[in-house]
Structure 1
Amino acid sequence: MTLGSRLRERRERLGKTQLTAAKDLGISNVQLSRYESDDRKPEPDLLGRFAEYYKTTADYLLGLTNDSTLEGTAAPATEAAAFEEFMRNPEHGLFFKDYLDAPEARQEEMLRFWTFIREQERLRKSDRDKE
């Protein structure tokens, strides 16, 4: 299944129309249609919003797992602690320097973005190991 088909499947499973889902996600119906038809790929922050809204994981939407449930995912507190440790490294922290002082909603967005980056790096390492 493609990202678009998984987005459509999750939306339909929740009984949402494209119009309703697009409005709730803060995007246009045309944009959502393009994502669902694989004409466009969402940015990492929107991918996180899709996962949250559709009550699934980014891994599922990206086709990295066929488990669409949230069970077995890292606890938010664990992710946040790992993210803060990563940020405290002077080489990494500059990118997210305002995390500790940011409002909670912004922190959650930055954490989702970091989780996506970390997963992409894990996949790159896995691909290199296969070579």
Structure 2
Amino acid sequence: MSVAGDRIKKLREQAGLTQLDLASKLGINNSVLSRIEAGKRPVEDTEMNKFADFFEVTSDYLLGRTDKPNEDESNISFFGGPDKYTSDEIEEMEAALKRYREMKRRAAEQARKQN
């Protein structure tokens, strides 16, 4: 099997869909889907887009270029993600960011004055 075929099959099964169900929903032939999942046929660009959109994953995930199904997932793991922060932690991070931005603004202003 191909990485794309394996991942498409896994996503289809997780969604509780048969090959016939998925093929019908995507407007592709069932035999095409069967061959893709078996690794006997490459996924065409238009099909890749349909699979990615339907399963709400990136094409990079389907192709095996990343193990993260979507971009959002890769951006929320910073110390457990925003839903794990206390209000005190959020206030501290906002204050730190404000200090950092002010420092960058002053450095840029000083660089302009020197030029």
**TM-score, normalised with respect to structure 1:** 0.52
Q: Distance in 1 between matches of 2:70 and 2:42?
A: 22
Aligned to 2:46: 45
4+ aligned runs moved over 3 Å, structure 1: none
Q: Are the aligned partners of 2:60 and 2:66 in contact in 1 as well (CA < 8 Å)? A: yes
Q: Which has the higher Rg, Structure 1 or Structure 2?
A: 2
Greater helix percent: which structure? Answer: 2
Q: Distance in 1 between matches of 2:18 and 2:55?
A: 12
Aligned to 2:34: 33
Deviations 1:62-89 (A, max 9, x none): 000001135158xxxxxxxxxxxxxxxx
Aligned to 1:58: 59
* Aligned residue type for 2:19: Q
Q: 1:23 to 1:70 in 2, by over 3 A?
A: farther
Q: Does 1:19 align with 2:20?
A: yes
Deviations 1:65-117 (A, max 9, x none): 001135158xxxxxxxxxxxxxxxxxxxxxxxxxxxxxxxxxxxxxxxxxxxx
Q: Are the aligned partners of 2:11 and 2:55 in contact in 1 as well (CA < 8 Å)? A: yes
* Secondary structure, aligned partner of 2:70: coil
* Aligned residue type for 2:46: D
Q: Distance in 2 between matches of 1:55 and 1:13?
A: 13
* Aligned residue type for 1:4: G
Q: Which runs of 5+ in 1 are unaligned?
A: 74-131
Q: Which runs of 5+ in 2 are unaligned?
A: 75-115
Alignment coverage as a number of residue pairs: 73
Q: Are the aligned partners of 1:55 and 1:70 in contact in 2 as well (CA < 8 Å)? A: no
Q: Are the aligned partners of 2:5 and 2:37 in contact in 1 as well (CA < 8 Å)? A: yes
**TM-score, normalised with respect to structure 2:** 0.59
